Amino acid sequence: MTAMLSMRSITKDFAGVRVLDGVDFDVEVGSVHALLGANGAGKSTLIKVLGGQYPDAAGITTLDGEPLDISSPRAARLSGVGIVHQEFDLVPQLTVAENIFLGFESLKLDARSSVWRLVDRNAMIGAAREILDKFNLGVSPDAVVGKLPIGAQQITEIARVIALGRRVMIFDEPTARLGQRDRDRLFEVFQSLKRSGKMVVFVTHYLDEVMAVADRASVMRDGKMIATKEICGTSVTELSRMMVGVDVKGVSRAAKPQVGHEVLSVNNLSDGATFDDISLSISAGEIVALVGHLGSGRHELTRSIRGRRSVKGDIVVRSGHKQKRAKMGFVPENRRVEGIFPELSVGANISLGFLREKSSFSLLPVKKIRATGDDVIARLQIKSAGGSQKIGQLSGGNQQKAVFGREMISDPSFYIIEAPTVGVDVKAAVELHNEIFKMAGRGSAILLATDDLDEAIRISDRILVMLRGRIVAEIASRDATREGLVAAMGAA
């Protein structure tokens, strides 16, 4: 087949640092093409160039042999490029249907005028429902986006790109916030788009998904394109090695960790809508995973324990250790919205964890704040131009490391960690898992909410399964299997 999309010698610098270095990238019509690379490899930057966000980038981009106008996001969209970005671009106050057609609303004449036009909401809802039903996406077009769990918001982003019918469809980490059932639905969408002659670019860190759905894969490292491989002629091991330059092995939880006194106690917790009569406890040094499909109540439960929702029942957090304070740390799944201030520096974002420990009337030790940020950057190997660089310019994985580092500063007795390795490469995932083990080793209790069942099995001590607002199973991780968890979650 003839290449449908061609990018040649794409080059881009940030603050004197070259992030794309003469990248060539070709994608064929009617195919699913995976774009891979470690955090900071340049994948998201390349996508943003194609999406018109960096018109100053050097190089040539063509579609069907003709120059492609990517001088602005609007120009790129009108030229046939649609992107589901890793970080959401939704209006939370609007419905799913309104977000899907935002900027492309259905209009009708005002009955009182031959000039003015009104938004035809019924037409939009009908068109949105048709798309959602056609691809079995499982979200109501009438729902207000801001009230939906993050997985449903991700599906809304995906539906928006599908609805606009772009020839080039780019999905940046689309499965990171989806449960297995919704991932399977998305892969069916990929195959449908492929059969209709669309070009699908699939950016992901999940190499098992690449092997299952992609036709070929291109690997980037340090701003350069390393290689492109046919999926039928490569392996997970080879792709992983090309991504990070070395062989990477995952880590697993110790068979029998040291567990101390009870730290978290939840008794008969209910919110009257999404979950009911939840009781659980976690002890010092223990990692407990919480899994469940979209709509199971898992997201609402973690937010309620965090104290962000009105509930009935008891939530108690204790110190668990004489050297620890009864305090909660929180790593959110939507780090862009809830975890960072994109326009502030890396050091400033990290140091917020230190500032929380100071009274508003205390003097702020600037040198110590800067040193704290620099220490976390070095210890967690956050790839940046230094503590003064804006955190919004970092890759998703490096932003996640910064959020981890900030929460660790106060050494709380209890952590809620949501989707810790979303958008994180295999090497960084191992590093973050090791940090979680260290947190537990220092006597903290950890509630790990994740859609990654393999992650839950590998790094936790116990797994709690939610279904229809209740905890329906508790399984020791050493006895858990992926198939058993899927069955308990109600998907079997």
pLDDT at res. 115? 47
CA torsion through residues 201, 207, 212, 215, sign:
positive
Query: Which tokens in the block code for residue 7?
Result: 């990018």
Are the CB atoms for 456 and 450 separated by under 8 Å?
Answer: yes
Q: List the one residue out of 133, 466, 65, 410 whose CA is nearest residue 297.
A: 466
Q: CA 49, 50, 51 angle in degrees (round to 5)?
A: 90
Q: How much is the pLDDT for 135?
A: 79
According to DSSP, the residues that pair with 82 across neighbouring strands are: 169
CA distances from 144 to 151, 160, 168, 206 (A): 14, 15, 28, 30
Asked if 414 and 376 touch (Cβ cutoff 8 Å), the reply is no
Query: What's residue 3's pLDDT?
Result: 63
Q: And the tokens for 81?
A: 């490029």
Distances in whole angstroms, Cα of residue 384 to Cα of each of 17, 396, 426, 444: 10, 12, 19, 29
Domains of the chain, start order: 4-244 (3.40.50.300), 261-490 (3.40.50.300)
Q: Is 230 exposed, middle or buried (0-12, 13-18, 19+ CB in 10 A)?
A: exposed
Q: Specify burial of residue 93 (Cβ count, 10 A radius: 0-12, 13-18, 19+).
A: exposed
pLDDT of residue 362: 56
Q: Which residues of the chain have pLDDT under 50?
A: 1, 109, 111, 113, 115, 359, 491-492
Q: Note the pLDDT of residue 32.
A: 96
Whether the CB-CB separation of 359 and 413 falls below 8 Å is answered with: no
What pTM did the predictor assign?
Answer: 0.65
Nearest-angstrom CA–CA distance, 113 and 127: 25
- The pLDDT assigned to 365 comes to 67
56-88: per-residue pLDDT in tens? 999 999 999 999 999 999 899 889 999 988 777
424-479 pLDDT per residue, tens:
777 888 889 999 999 999 999 999 999 888 899 999 999 999 988 999 999 999 99
Between strands 312-317 and 31-37, the pairing is unpaired
